[in-house]
């Protein structure tokens, strides 16, 4: 697992008409980055488990459905073809898209407001901690 979350990879000049579309596009962009990282790590030969499928986590059921069960739908037919590369990568078995609940999504502190307790829990998951009053 490379720790990729789709919402952190969406292009700034790309807008989606819905959260499903935005998450789908972001997941596609994350997968493209993962291709480069996976190839680089394989060349180095330092992480044997990199041969396993890379997991991309997403908290949007609609985006996951678009990837796993592609079908023609009036709401998704306008998504540019370049973003459908993700479907091919997953069908080949190189990548896997799994659901992560919004409460467990580590990227949430970077994308939405939350309580101090939840924020602190997410910071702990990221390995970040407060420096206190060090000045």
CB 34 within 8 A of CB 95: yes
In tens, the pLDDT along 16-74 reads 467 888 888 888 888 889 888 888 998 998 888 888 888 988 888 888 888 877 665 55
Highest mean pLDDT among 1-5, 75-79, 108-112: 108-112
More confident residue, 95 or 84: 95
**Residue in this structure with the two tokens 């819905």, named with its chain if needed:** 18
Q: What is the pLDDT of residue 10?
A: 47
Q: What is the pLDDT of residue 47?
A: 86
CB 22 within 8 A of CB 58: no
């Amino acid at each position: 697992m490379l720790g990729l979350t789709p919402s952190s990879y969406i292009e700034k000049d790309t807008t989606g008409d819905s959260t499903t579309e935005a998450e789908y596009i972001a997941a596609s962009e994350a997968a493209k980055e993962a291709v480069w990282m996976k190839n680089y790590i394989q060349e180095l030969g330092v992480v044997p488990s990199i041969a396993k499928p890379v997991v991309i986590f997403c908290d949007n059921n609609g985006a996951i459905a678009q990837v796993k069960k592609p079908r023609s739908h009036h709401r998704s037919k306008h998504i540019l073809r370049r973003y459908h590369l993700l479907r091919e990568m997953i069908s080949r078995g190189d990548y896997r898209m799994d659901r992560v609940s919004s409460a467990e999504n580590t990227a949430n502190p970077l994308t939405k407001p939350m309580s101090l307790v939840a924020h602190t829990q997410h910071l702990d998951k990221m390995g970040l901690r407060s420096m206190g009053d060090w000045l």
